[in-house]
Amino acid sequence: MQSDNTIKRGVSLYSFQEEYFRRDKTLEEILATCAQIDARGIEIIGDQMIRGYPDIPDEFIKQWHGWMEKYELTPVCLDMFLDWNKYPGRVMTEDERVESISRDIVNANKLGCTLIRVIHDVEPSILERLAPTAEKYNVTLALEVHAPSDLDSPLEQRLIEMFERVQSPNLGFTIDLGIYCKKLPRIVTARFLREGMAPEIAQYLTDAYNTHTLPSPESIAADGESLAEKVFKRGGREKDVYLAYMGTHMIYSNPRRLLDYMPHIKHFHAKFYEMLPDYTEFSIPYDEIIPVIQEGGYTGYLNSEYEGNRWIHDAFEVNSPAQVELHQVMMKNWLNAPSA
């Protein structure tokens, strides 16, 4: 076990979505895999892996804690979602959203998780109303900062104002390291090529992204052309414009901005798309990020989150455990510490 003053390593079970969806591995087999690759801090997505969620049977709770003990794992985080369109003809009211997340808080407590990854776009007023419930159940609500937003985006700034006013230790952020994607993942453009995109367009997207000159769907580049115009000029199709827009969802922010907000950061999704054999990630510069996290005095979890699977499974076999293991070794090398 790690002491409380060190950064801890874990994994989001979302990393194994391919194996779980294809029924190649059961939940218990995935947990056994986590133990084998020494990723012992566990983050689970209730809607994905707990049958009947948010109604969790007592038998599952007992089984879950049995697995934690059997495989020497630590429950860390429950990921929640809001079913905004649950009711025909309308979206959830604020009271209904508060009630829904309150159930998640109780469920996290039952699972032994002291943290909930809150889906992006939950309003500050809702989290403020939930603070007393979170404190009662010793669960921290950590809203996910996820591309294309970053800590300087409008919602995040309104949340920071609320955090500083309310001063609840049970409110904060989960930072998805995908907001530090410095190079466009090559598995993304490779998928675009398999979808029929012309190599010239794929190369333009790579070069423009990597030099921070790729316009967003709503903006105009310095030369006066929109992204769609640039794609069409290179012989692209409507589908290529759609694919190009997918590339603009990724962003690169300055990792050192983390230091300005570290008191509000409760958790990290250590996102990765492609681990290389030399224990580096192709597009996300962990050599720039982890030292900043250490400098900021963070003592929570870095949970591996593999999302390269969706970009390759049309043409290649997905091996999520191998990718997560490479990622865990990389983080261990940087942190120079054992896992949870």
Please check whether residue 215 is in contact with residue 227, taking contact to mean a CB–CB distance below 8 angstroms: yes
Q: Is pLDDT of 221 > 80? A: no
Give pTM, 2 decimals.
0.94
Q: Is pLDDT of 45 > 50? A: yes
**What is the torsional sign of CA 298, 303, 304, 310?**
negative
pLDDT, tens digit (0-9, with 9 covering 90-100), for 62-112? 999 999 999 999 999 999 999 888 899 999 999 999 999 999 999 999 999
Q: Is pLDDT of 5 > 80? A: no
Q: Which domains does the chain have, with CATH numbers?
A: 8-182+251-335 (3.20.20.150), 186-247 (no CATH)
CB neighbour class for 48 (10 Å; exposed up to 12, middle 13-18, buried from 19): middle
Q: DSSP for 98-113, please give it.
A: HHHHHHHHHHHHHHT-
Q: Is pLDDT of 248 > 90? A: no
Output b/e per residue, 184-216; b: 16+ Cβ within 10 A: bbebbbbbbeeeebbeebbebbbebbeeeebbe
Residue 247: which of 323, 320, 183 has the closest Cα? 183
Share of the chain above pLDDT 90, in %: 91
Residue 264: which of 137, 178, 145, 179 has the closest Cα? 145
pLDDT, tens digit (0-9, with 9 covering 90-100), for 128-152? 999 999 999 999 999 999 999 999 9
Q: DSSP for 233-282, please give it.
A: HTT--HHHHHHHHHHTT--B--GGGHHHHGGGEEEEEEEES-B-TTS-BS
Secondary structure (3-state) at 309: helix
Q: Is pLDDT of 340 > 80? A: no
Mean pLDDT computed over every residue of the chain: 95
Q: Is pLDDT of 3 > 70? A: no
